[in-house]
Every structure is written in C-alpha cells, then in structure tokens.
C-alpha cells in the first residue's frame, strides 16, 4: 500500500534521535562492535540529508552518554577517535550545506583535549548557518544537564521563590534550542536512557526496530508520518 504523503505544513521543527543498535548490528554480522559505530556514520549523514530535504530545522542526535564511559576502554577510545575523525572529515561538507554544528554535553570534562579543540573549531566554523542546527549530544546526560543548570542557578544567588521553569530552561546547555517535537529511538529499546530529560516533557516518542546503521532518510520520514498522526494536547483538551 502506498504511504500517505507527509503534510509539509506539519513537519516537526525539532527531531531528536537516539542512535542505538550499532553493537547489535555488528555482532549479527560477525563484526566487531566498533564496526557498527563506523557503519553508523552513513546513517547519520543520510538522516541529516533527510532533515534538510524535509525542512526539519533542528536535529539532535545522541552520540555518547555520560554513562557510556562505563564501556570497555577500547570501545570508548574508538568512539572518541571516531567522533573526532567524522568532524575533521565532514565539517566542511556540513558547513557548505548550511548546517550549524553544536555539541551538547559536559564539555571539557573527560573529553580528550584534541577532540575538544575540534569540537570548538567546528562550532565556530558553522555558527552562522541556519538551514539546520545539528546538535550532537556527546558526553551528554539529561541529569547532568539539570545538575549543571542548578549549580549555575545556585551560584547566581537568586532567591528560591524567584526560580521558575523559565529559570531552569535558561540555564540548560542551549537555552535557544526549542524542545523536540519528536524523539525517535532505533533498535527496539523503549527507553530514554538519560536523553534530554527536561526537553522531552511533551515530545512525541516513536520507536523503531531498525538498528541505527540501517537507518536512512526514509525511516526519518516514516517517524514523521507517525508523528503527524498523533494529536498533541500539552495537557489541554485540544492541540
């Protein structure tokens, strides 16, 4: 059966993706887990193309969590090197496509210095682009983000009764980032795994069995189709 076309007027402004399943993708093929991470690069860039084609303005991808440090040292080392390599090899291409690259997470803390330098350079290079903001959640934890916000708020000396939801939102890593309209998680896991805890409060959640290395722009379109069938109410009685 033909798929219903997407409604161009209801494209989500911000899509967040938990890029999960790289290890299982590799293991099923008799490959090393790290080969799965390497294969995830094509998926990411195809998703970026899809976002550009569909007019999604914000794409946030979960690349490394504050809990992923628990993995074997070799895998962590590979992920540090691999993320750096992607940045160095592909930032010019992203820049030419009008993509603003941002990193969200605990920068500096535990992140190798050279990678941090490439993160800073890529952010600077692309800072004036507006076609799409690609936020890479790296060394990111939703709880850590809230802790970091609370620390800043406490240090500012603000009176407790003056603290509102806006105060907290203003102290998140990117206060100008709109909340995701849609969160997609691949690999058949039904959890958030400490991703954007504050920001996902009213996002539509879509889960797919596709493993991240197999994810392509068609899957992004499918998730958006599912999103367009939902009725968002934000606690009220209509959308």
Nearest approach, Cβ of 24 to ligand IPE (angstroms)? 3
Residue 148 is a catalytic residue:
no
Write out the H or E segment, with its range, that includes residue 40.
helix 33-54
Residue with tokens 């550009």: 52
Q: Work out whether 28 is an interface residue with ligand IPE (CB under 6 A).
A: no
Sign for the pseudo-dihedral over CA of 55, 119, 94, 80:
negative
Nearest approach, Cβ of 23 to Mg ion (angstroms)? 6
Of 20-28, 99-107, 108-116, 119-127: span binding ligand IPE (CB under 6 A): 20-28
CA distance 215 to 148: 32
Residues 51-90 that bind ligand IPE (CB under 6 A): 62-65, 68, 79
| Position with the least CB separation from ligand IPE | 23
Cβ atoms of 218 and 51 within 8 Å: the answer is no
Q: Which of 7, 13, 20, 92 is catalytic?
A: 20
Residue 92 is a catalytic residue:
no
Q: Write the binding mask 4 to 43 for Mg ion: x where contact by CB under 5 A, - elsewhere.
A: ----------------x-----------------------
Closest of 79, 80, 84, 77 to residue 117, by C-alpha: 84
Judged by beta carbon distances under 5 to 8 A according to partner kind, the member of Mg ion, ligand IPE, none in contact with residue 19 is ligand IPE
Question: How open is the CA angle 162-234-58, to the nearest 5 degrees?
Answer: 85
Q: Which of 68, 95, 129, 194 is catalytic?
A: 68
Instruction: List, as one string, the DSSP characters of 87-152.
Output: HHHHHHHHHHTTEEEEEES--SSSS-HHHHHHHHHHHHHTTT--SEEEEEEEEE-HHHHHHHHHHH
Nearest approach, Cβ of 212 to ligand IPE (angstroms)? 6
| CB closer to ligand IPE out of 68 and 116 | 68
CA distance 228 to 199: 20
In the complex, which residues of this chain contact ligand IPE (CB under 6 A)?
18-24, 62-65, 68, 79, 187, 189, 191, 193
In the complex, which residues of this chain contact Mg ion (CB under 5 A)?
20
Catalytic residues: 20, 68
């Amino acid at each position: 059966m033909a798929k219903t076309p997407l409604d161009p007027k209801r494209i989500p402004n911000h899509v967040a993706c938990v890029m999960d399943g790289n290890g299982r993708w590799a293991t099923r093929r008799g490959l090393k887990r790290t080969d799965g991470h390497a294969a995830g690069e094509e998926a990411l860039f195809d998703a970026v193309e899809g976002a550009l084609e569909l007019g999604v303005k914000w794409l946030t991808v979960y690349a490394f969590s504050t809990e992923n440090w628990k993995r074997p040292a070799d895998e962590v080392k590979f992920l540090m090197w691999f993320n750096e390599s992607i940045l160095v090899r592909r930032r010019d291409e992203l820049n030419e496509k009008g993509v603003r690259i941002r990193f969200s997470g605990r920068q500096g803390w535990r992140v190798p210095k050279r990678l941090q330098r490439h993160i800073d350079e890529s952010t600077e290079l692309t800072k004036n682009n507006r076609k799409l903001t690609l936020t890479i959640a790296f060394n990111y934890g939703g709880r850590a983000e809230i802790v970091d916000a609370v620390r800043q708020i406490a240090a500012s000396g603000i009176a407790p009764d003056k603290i509102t939801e806006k105060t907290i939102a203003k102290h998140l890593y990117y206060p100008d980032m709109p909340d995701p309209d849609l969160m997609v998680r691949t690999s058949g896991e039904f959890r958030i795994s400490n991703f954007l805890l504050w920001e996902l409060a009213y996002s539509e959640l879509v889960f797919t069995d596709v493993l991240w290395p197999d994810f392509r722009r068609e899957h992004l379109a499918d998730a958006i189709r599912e999103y367009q069938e939902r009725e968002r109410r934000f606690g009220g009685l209509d959308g």
